[in-house]
């Protein structure tokens, strides 16, 4: 009791203490960044396709690729060598508990892309959620080979689950790479068949607003970066974009640089009673040396002693920010804070914000719009689950089923349902055991996307409609 009163007053202090900061603009000329997550059934060819694309874009040198080719041949896995490129660039994956996904970057003339390659296995769904909840768009890789698309799409396959999950997390644009076209001789009929089945599902059932289908071969590299030659069999019936062109057509995400500061802590690199070295991601706003900030949910006051973009490529991240620069929404950073900290209390899922009106108020109760997955038992009032959001994981309880909704139109279908069967969309009230750093999706997307897991499976995912703050009422 005592500690909860103390915590409340610390948050109250943060809400009533405006922390000054300079208004900053990201230097012009910086290319807009696009984050996209690569999803699809296992063996659809995700890693091969991305590895090959990175190679064609000049992100990996020929020598490295040749080395992989030889090593792969020695191991009798010669077809896998492009996939290893992504593995090579994924040293960051060892960074903290949440990051078990391969990351890579590439640039075009117009944009900077950050790829998150989510493993396709069922066990990796939590990692995929981490990837999806940081993404502006998704690349869904489908295997065109007869029988394989079907097994990935039908019951038990991950294609549906991945698509529903990323849509539920607010991603509305999807590019579909219809891969392994070489195995079906670039046949139009097969491409059209997949397009018809999948597009209906993606638009009608999952609710994506924009879909682009591109025929490709990850292994040969055809139609990834260079347009197909006029003599190519696919050119008889396909005049659409290459894969990279389809990605270039995705709208660049807004970067909420002038929104209230939100920095999500991904990992604690160094922790003493008065200095913290953190690896973190700026989700909104901007930050620089000397800024006074609060660390939520405990509302510890801290001063920024160093902050820089985290661009290291070594295996182990440095423990402290090596220099100071202004960092903006979208940046992955290293940040050093000075203050009075209770070491164990600072973990992944903490959020750095400013005080006063810009403060993030930790809450326990949320109204959430969720999509229920293919669950064995319907979700009812009292269902207990683990709530995942940004780098946070917290136990929670479903407190109320408000109504079920039509997936496509959002219309109310039924008020106060007794249970939520699989594949339903609904508004529910969730309560966490302790206050957590989440807020409405309309205020800050990355802090408003959640998923729920119980007994080792993902039961639902969605976005926060309202965060119910008790502190405001108390003030």
User: Among residues 34, 466, 451, which one has the least CA distance to residue 248?
Assistant: 34
Listed in sequence order, the residues at least 6 apart from 455 whose beta carbon sits closer than 8 Å to its beta carbon are none
Residue nearest to ligand GDP (CB): 45
Q: Is 367 exposed, middle or buried (0-12, 13-18, 19+ CB in 10 A)?
A: middle
Q: DSSP character for 334? A: E
Cβ 426 vs Cβ 373: under 8 Å: no
Decide if residue 218 touches ligand GDP (CB under 6 A). Answer: yes
Residue position matching structure tokens 């229920």: 372
Give the shortest CB-179-to-ligand GDP separation in angstroms.
Answer: 5
Decide if residue 89 touches ligand GDP (CB under 6 A). Answer: no
Give the shortest CB-69-to-ligand GDP separation in angstroms.
Answer: 12
Decide if residue 448 touches ligand GDP (CB under 6 A). Answer: no
Give the shortest CB-268-to-ligand GDP separation in angstroms.
Answer: 31
Part of the chain binding ligand GDP (CB under 6 A), chosen from 47-55, 58-66, 293-301, 427-435: 47-55
Decide if residue 211 touches ligand GDP (CB under 6 A). Answer: no
Q: Which of 83, 132, 214, 261 binds ligand GDP (CB under 6 A)?
A: 83
The token pair that represents 246 in the structure block? 């389809």
Q: Which of 79, 200, 226, 274 binds ligand GDP (CB under 6 A)?
A: 79
Cβ 106 vs Cβ 115: under 8 Å: yes
Decide if residue 10 touches ligand GDP (CB under 6 A). Answer: no
Part of the chain binding ligand GDP (CB under 6 A), chosen from 94-102, 178-186, 370-378, 453-461: 178-186
Q: Which is nearer to ligand GDP, 49 or 467 (CB)?
A: 49
Decide if residue 217 touches ligand GDP (CB under 6 A). Answer: yes
Q: Which of 65, 95, 98, 120 binds ligand GDP (CB under 6 A)?
A: 120
Decide if residue 48 touches ligand GDP (CB under 6 A). Answer: yes
Beta bridge partners of 450: 462
Give the shortest CB-52-to-ligand GDP separation in angstroms.
Answer: 8
Decide if residue 183 touches ligand GDP (CB under 6 A). Answer: yes
Decide if residue 42 touches ligand GDP (CB under 6 A). Answer: yes
Q: Which of 167, 180, 369, 449 binds ligand GDP (CB under 6 A)?
A: 180
The token pair that represents 289 in the structure block? 């040396």
Part of the chain binding ligand GDP (CB under 6 A), chosen from 211-219, 268-276, 327-335, 401-409: 211-219
Q: Which is nearer to ligand GDP, 218 or 330 (CB)?
A: 218
Q: What is the CA radius of gyration of the chain?
A: 23
Q: Which of 43, 150, 193, 245 binds ligand GDP (CB under 6 A)?
A: 43
C-alpha distance from residue 466 to each of 196, 361, 430, 443, 459 (Å): 37, 12, 11, 10, 21
C-alpha distance from residue 93 to each of 131, 291, 300, 359, 459 (Å): 12, 30, 29, 31, 25
User: How many CA atoms within 13 Å lie on the side-chain side of 234?
Assistant: 26
Decide if residue 45 touches ligand GDP (CB under 6 A). Answer: yes
Decide if residue 47 touches ligand GDP (CB under 6 A). Answer: yes
Decide if residue 151 touches ligand GDP (CB under 6 A). Answer: no
Decide if residue 249 touches ligand GDP (CB under 6 A). Answer: no
Q: Which is nearer to ligand GDP, 182 or 245 (CB)?
A: 182
Give the shortest CB-456-to-ligand GDP separation in angstroms.
Answer: 21
C-alpha distance from residue 40 to each of 152, 189, 344, 370 (Å): 8, 22, 37, 22
Q: Which of 179, 383, 391, 404 binds ligand GDP (CB under 6 A)?
A: 179
Q: Which is nearer to ligand GDP, 33 or 102 (CB)?
A: 102
Listed in sequence order, the residues at least 6 apart from 91 whose beta carbon sits closer than 8 Å to its beta carbon are 313, 314, 315
Decide if residue 56 touches ligand GDP (CB under 6 A). Answer: no
CA distance linking residue 475 with residue 466, whole number of Å: 19
Q: Please tell me whether residue 213 adopts helix, strand or coil conformation.
A: strand
Decide if residue 256 touches ligand GDP (CB under 6 A). Answer: no
Q: Is 60 exposed, middle or buried (0-12, 13-18, 19+ CB in 10 A)?
A: buried
First-last CA distance in the chain: 19
* Parallel, antiparallel or unpaired: strands 137-143 and 33-39: parallel
CA dihedral in degrees (392, 398, 401, 406; nearest 10)? 40
Decide if residue 39 touches ligand GDP (CB under 6 A). Answer: no
Decide if residue 182 touches ligand GDP (CB under 6 A). Answer: yes
Note the residues at the interface with ligand GDP (CB under 6 A): 40, 42-49, 79-80, 83, 120, 179-180, 182-183, 217-219
């Amino acid at each position: 009791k005592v500690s909860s009163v103390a915590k409340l007053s610390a948050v109250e202090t943060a809400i009533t203490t405006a922390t000054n900061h300079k208004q900053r603009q990201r230097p012009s000329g910086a290319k807009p960044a696009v984050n996209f997550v690569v999803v699809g059934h296992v063996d659809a060819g995700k890693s091969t396709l991305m590895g090959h694309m990175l190679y064609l874009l000049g992100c990996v040198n020929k020598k490295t690729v040749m080395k992989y080719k030889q090593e792969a041949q020695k191991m009798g896995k010669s077809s896998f060598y492009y996939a290893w490129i992504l593995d090579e660039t994924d040293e960051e994956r060892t960074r903290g508990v949440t990051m078990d996904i391969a990351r890579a970057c590439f640039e075009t003339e117009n944009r900077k892309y950050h790829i998150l390659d989510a493993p396709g296995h069922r066990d990796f769904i939590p990692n995929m959620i981490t990837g999806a909840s940081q993404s502006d768009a998704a690349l869904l890789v489908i295997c065109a080979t007869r029988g394989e698309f079907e097994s990935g799409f039908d019951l038990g396959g991950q294609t549906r689950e991945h698509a529903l999950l990323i849509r539920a997390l607010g991603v509305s644009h999807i590019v579909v790479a219809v891969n392994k076209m070489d195995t079906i001789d670039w046949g139009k009929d097969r491409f059209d068949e997949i397009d018809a089945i999948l597009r209906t599902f993606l638009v009608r059932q999952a609710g994506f607003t924009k879909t682009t289908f591109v025929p490709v071969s990850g292994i040969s590299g055809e139609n990834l970066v260079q347009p197909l030659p006029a003599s190519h069999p696919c050119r008889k019936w396909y005049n659409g974009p290459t894969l990279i062109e389809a990605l270039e057509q995705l709208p660049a995400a807004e970067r909420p640089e002038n929104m209230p500061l939100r920095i999500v802590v991904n990992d604690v690199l160094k922790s003493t009673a008065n200095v913290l070295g953190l690896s973190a991601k700026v989700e909104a706003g901007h930050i620089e040396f000397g800024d006074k900030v609060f660390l939520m949910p405990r509302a510890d006051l801290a001063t920024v002693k160093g902050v820089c973009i985290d661009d290291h490529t070594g295996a182990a991240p440095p423990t402290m920010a090596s220099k100071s620069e202004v960092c903006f929404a979208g940046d992955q950073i290293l940040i050093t804070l000075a203050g009075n900290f209770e070491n164990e209390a600072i973990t992944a899922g903490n959020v750095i914000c400013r005080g006063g009106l810009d403060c993030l108020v930790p809450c326990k109760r949320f109204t959430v719009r969720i999509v229920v997955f293919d669950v064995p038992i319907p979700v009812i009032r009292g269902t207990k689950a683990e709530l995942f959001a940004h780098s946070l994981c917290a136990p929670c309880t479903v407190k109320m089923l408000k109504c079920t909704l039509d997936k496509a139109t959002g219309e109310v279908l039924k008020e106060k349902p007794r249970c939520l069967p699989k594949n339903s969309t609904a508004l529910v009230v969730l309560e966490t055991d302790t206050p957590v750093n989440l807020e409405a999706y309309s205020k800050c997307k990355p802090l408003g996307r959640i998923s729920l897991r119980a007994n080792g499976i993902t039961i639902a995912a969605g976005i926060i409609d309202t965060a119910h703050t008790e502190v405001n009422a108390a003030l």
